[in-house]
Structure 1
Amino acid sequence: MQRVRLRYTKRGRLRFTSHRDFQRAFERALRRAEVPMAYSAGFTPHPKVSYANAAPTGTASEAEFLEIALTERRDPARLRELLDASLPPGLDVTDAVEAHTSGFADRLTASRWELRMDGVEPAEAERAVRVFLDAPSVEVQRETKKGLRTFDARAAVAALAVKDADAAAGGDRPGPAPCAILRLVVRHVTPAVRPDDVLTGLRTAAGLAPPVPAGVTRLAQGPLDEETGTVTDPLAPDRDATPVATAPGPTA
């Protein structure tokens, strides 16, 4: 009867939540919020929830997306509030729109990431970025379900630059120790190129090796504007679409 698309976050320690753990937490939140979910058919019915391109475990994110199917109409704004209150802090529902278009997953063509590299001088990071971007290709290897794969990390990178530490997500200053902040836009290709693959490429191509693992946060994902290298809002087409007139239903 109604489909609603949600944006949610994984912040702080909750970035270590696996996708399966989040699924369980979200289904509990649906029950607490008394959301009138549609269920699949068969012997073991499940709530109709579609997840789109979840971030790897261990990375924070400001832009995760899912879609739910309801048997009764609900106000998306009120639904967002109820679900957000039913999830633990760090798993926050930040936006909700009624789905008026199809092909949502196809809009997620790129992600914008922030890489916080403690112990790395910005000047050294800038040198490594120039070497990486100037390379025609940067091959890296990663173990996948199909075995060890070799692929070009450079081809997937639409933009890569060093930002001032004050531009870091959350606005926290890194203190007196050196800290380089990288902003990265990666196209969603097959096989997927992840931020850690780009970090491996920076080490392979330019010898950049942070003394501690980089802090990784997905800032956005959605359609990629190839001219500007920016990632735009994938919910905009639904938000801007003219809704179909329906009789008012109960609020969530």
Structure 2
Amino acid sequence: MQRIRLRYTKRGRLRFTSHRDFQRAFERALRRAEVPMAYSAGFTPHPKVSYANAAPTGTASEAEYLEIALAERRDPEHLRRLLDASLPTGLDVLDAVEAHTSGFADRLTASRWELRLDGVEPAEAERAARAFLDASSVEVSRETKKGLRTFDARAAVASLEAVADEPEGGPDRPEQGGCAILRLVVRHLTPAVRPDDVLSGLRAAAGLAPPVPAGVTRLAQGPLDEESGTVADPLAPDRDATPVATAPGPAA
């Protein structure tokens, strides 16, 4: 089998697509693009697709990942174009590489997020970010499948800054100005700390309460460099591996 790793987006109204809805849309795209999928064994075979750390429903993302297994070899870039054309606008396939390594999910140790806070002055957001980072711990509570859980949101945040420049969220950025932008890197811990947990922590630590819901976009996810607080490209090890010749497959 050939394994292909894909990076895709959730933009605009499609950010409200649930993970289950995306799975259905992606499997339809596989059929439309006539991708030669490998299937599981048993009474109910299903295409071999592995999803990695999907963003919460309602959150935009520029860095969602999945892996597919093929029964016949295909050129990754040709396959990317076919799948991108078969998915609705907003669910865009941006990148495809052949997998030459294992343990891909283990590389996704952190995410870089952007929070757009309409109605919040940049100076207020900067003050709240400093108060959050200066705290030794910031406890927040969230209802989970196992009931109400309380955990430390501060421990998961590797970096947090207020910025004055334009948001990086691309198509989801507003036309009007007058909002604060926070960028943060969050470690993938157990239990998972989500951007809304950090917003709850900013409210608890500094009284920051945006008048409207924050616009949340995941900008990247991958290996975390603890020293610099940056998130690296998780597909880089596969890009650097020795390429293997592949057939381009049928025309679009």
TM-score, scaled to structure 1: 0.96
Partner of 1:92: 92
Matched, 1:101 2:104: no
In structure 2, how many angstroms separate the alpha carbons of the residues matched to 1:111 and 1:216? 12
Q: 1:162–1:250: structure 2 CA closer, same or farther, 3 Å change rule?
A: closer
Partner of 1:75: 75
Instruction: Using the TM superposition, give the Cα deviation of residue 174 of structure 1 relative to its aligned residue in structure 2, in angstroms.
Output: 5.4
Q: Map of 1:19-34 to 2, 5 A cutoff?
A: 19-34=19-34
In structure 2, how many angstroms separate the alpha carbons of the residues matched to 1:250 and 1:75? 5
Matched, 1:61 2:44: no
* Counterpart contact for 1:8–1:95, Cα < 8 Å: yes
Instruction: Using the TM superposition, give the Cα deviation of residue 69 of structure 1 relative to its aligned residue in structure 2, in angstroms.
Output: 0.2
Could you report, residue by residue, the CA deviation over 1:27-80 in whole angstroms, capped at 9, with x for unpaired residues?
000000000001111111110000000000000000000000000000000000
Q: 1:149–1:91: structure 2 CA closer, same or farther, 3 Å change rule?
A: same
Structure 2 gaps of 5+ residues are none
In structure 2, how many angstroms separate the alpha carbons of the residues matched to 1:168 and 1:74? 33
TM-score, scaled to structure 2: 0.96
Secondary structure of 2:166's partner? Answer: helix
Partner of 1:40: 40
Partner of 1:251: 249
Structure 1 gaps of 5+ residues are none
Partner of 2:183: 183
In structure 2, how many angstroms separate the alpha carbons of the residues matched to 1:90 and 1:168? 16
Instruction: Using the TM superposition, give the Cα deviation of residue 15 of structure 1 relative to its aligned residue in structure 2, in angstroms.
Output: 0.1
Superposition CA RMSD, Å = 1.3
* Counterpart contact for 1:165–1:180, Cα < 8 Å: no
> How many residues are matched?
249
* Counterpart contact for 1:168–1:181, Cα < 8 Å: no
Instruction: Using the TM superposition, give the Cα deviation of residue 170 of structure 1 relative to its aligned residue in structure 2, in angstroms.
Output: 2.1
Secondary structure of 1:45's partner? Answer: coil
Partner of 1:122: 122
For 1:160, the aligned partner's letter is L
Secondary structure of 1:35's partner? Answer: coil
Partner of 1:141: 141
In structure 2, how many angstroms separate the alpha carbons of the residues matched to 1:107 and 1:136? 27
Partner of 1:223: 223
In structure 2, how many angstroms separate the alpha carbons of the residues matched to 1:77 and 1:17? 25
